[in-house]
Protein backbone atom coordinates (compact mmCIF):
# COMPACT_ATOMS: atom_id res chain seq x y z
CA UNK A 1 0.00 0.00 0.00
CA UNK A 2 1.27 3.46 -0.90
CA UNK A 3 0.89 6.34 1.53
CA UNK A 4 -1.22 9.06 -0.11
CA UNK A 5 0.76 11.94 1.42
CA UNK A 6 4.11 10.50 0.37
CA UNK A 7 2.76 9.89 -3.11
CA UNK A 8 1.51 13.48 -3.30
CA UNK A 9 4.98 14.78 -2.41
CA UNK A 10 6.29 13.29 -5.65
CA UNK A 11 3.20 13.64 -7.86
CA UNK A 12 1.73 16.97 -6.82
CA UNK A 13 -1.85 16.99 -8.07
CA UNK A 14 -2.44 20.25 -6.21
CA UNK A 15 0.09 22.33 -8.11
CA UNK A 16 -1.27 25.20 -10.17
CA UNK A 17 -3.79 23.88 -12.71
CA UNK A 18 -2.77 20.25 -12.36
CA UNK A 19 -5.62 19.25 -10.04
CA UNK A 20 -8.17 20.37 -12.63
CA UNK A 21 -6.35 18.53 -15.42
CA UNK A 22 -6.04 15.27 -13.51
CA UNK A 23 -9.67 15.38 -12.38
CA UNK A 24 -10.74 16.05 -15.98
CA UNK A 25 -8.70 13.01 -17.01
CA UNK A 26 -10.54 10.86 -14.48
CA UNK A 27 -13.85 12.34 -15.59
CA UNK A 28 -13.26 11.40 -19.22
CA UNK A 29 -11.22 8.20 -18.91
CA UNK A 30 -12.36 6.71 -15.59
CA UNK A 31 -15.96 7.91 -15.27
CA UNK A 32 -16.97 5.11 -12.89
CA UNK A 33 -14.48 6.25 -10.25
CA UNK A 34 -15.15 9.92 -10.89
CA UNK A 35 -18.87 9.33 -10.23
CA UNK A 36 -18.09 7.25 -7.12
CA UNK A 37 -15.83 10.02 -5.81
CA UNK A 38 -18.57 12.60 -6.28
CA UNK A 39 -21.03 10.38 -4.45
CA UNK A 40 -18.61 9.72 -1.57
CA UNK A 41 -17.84 13.44 -1.30
CA UNK A 42 -21.54 14.29 -1.20
CA UNK A 43 -21.37 17.20 -3.64
CA UNK A 44 -21.78 17.92 -7.34
CA UNK A 45 -18.49 19.76 -7.74
CA UNK A 46 -15.45 17.98 -9.10
CA UNK A 47 -13.94 15.72 -6.44
CA UNK A 48 -10.46 16.40 -5.12
CA UNK A 49 -7.58 14.00 -5.76
CA UNK A 50 -7.96 12.64 -2.22
CA UNK A 51 -11.66 12.02 -2.86
CA UNK A 52 -10.74 10.26 -6.12
CA UNK A 53 -8.31 8.08 -4.20
CA UNK A 54 -10.99 7.25 -1.64
CA UNK A 55 -13.30 6.05 -4.44
CA UNK A 56 -10.59 3.62 -5.54
CA UNK A 57 -10.00 2.53 -1.94
CA UNK A 58 -13.72 1.80 -1.57
CA UNK A 59 -13.47 -0.42 -4.66
CA UNK A 60 -10.39 -2.15 -3.19
CA UNK A 61 -8.28 -0.78 -6.07
CA UNK A 62 -6.12 1.76 -4.28
CA UNK A 63 -2.94 0.73 -6.10
CA UNK A 64 -4.72 1.24 -9.42
CA UNK A 65 -5.32 4.89 -8.47
CA UNK A 66 -1.62 5.40 -7.80
CA UNK A 67 -0.65 3.66 -11.03
CA UNK A 68 -3.09 5.76 -13.10
CA UNK A 69 -1.91 9.05 -11.57
CA UNK A 70 1.77 8.10 -11.87
CA UNK A 71 1.32 7.17 -15.54
CA UNK A 72 -0.60 10.39 -16.18
CA UNK A 73 2.26 12.45 -14.74
CA UNK A 74 4.85 10.53 -16.76
CA UNK A 75 2.87 11.08 -19.98
CA UNK A 76 1.89 14.68 -19.26
CA UNK A 77 5.24 15.87 -17.89
CA UNK A 78 7.79 13.51 -19.49
CA UNK A 79 10.77 15.77 -18.81
CA UNK A 80 9.96 16.00 -15.10
CA UNK A 81 9.23 12.30 -14.52
CA UNK A 82 11.77 10.20 -16.39
| pTM (2 d.p.) | 0.88
Residue-wise pLDDT tens digits, 6-44 = 898 889 888 889 999 999 999 999 999 999 999 988 888
Q: Judge whether 37 and 45 are in contact, CB under 8 Å.
A: no
Residue 52 region by backbone torsions, left for phi larger than 0, else alpha for psi between -120 and 50, else beta: alpha
User: Which of 25, 28, 52 has the alpha carbon at shortest distance from 38?
Assistant: 52
Confidence band (pLDDT; 50, 70, 90) for 61?
A: very high
Q: Mean of the per-residue pLDDT values for the chain?
A: 90
Amino acid sequence: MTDFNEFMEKYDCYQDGTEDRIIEFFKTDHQEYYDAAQELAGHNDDPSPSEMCEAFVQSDKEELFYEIVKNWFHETYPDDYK
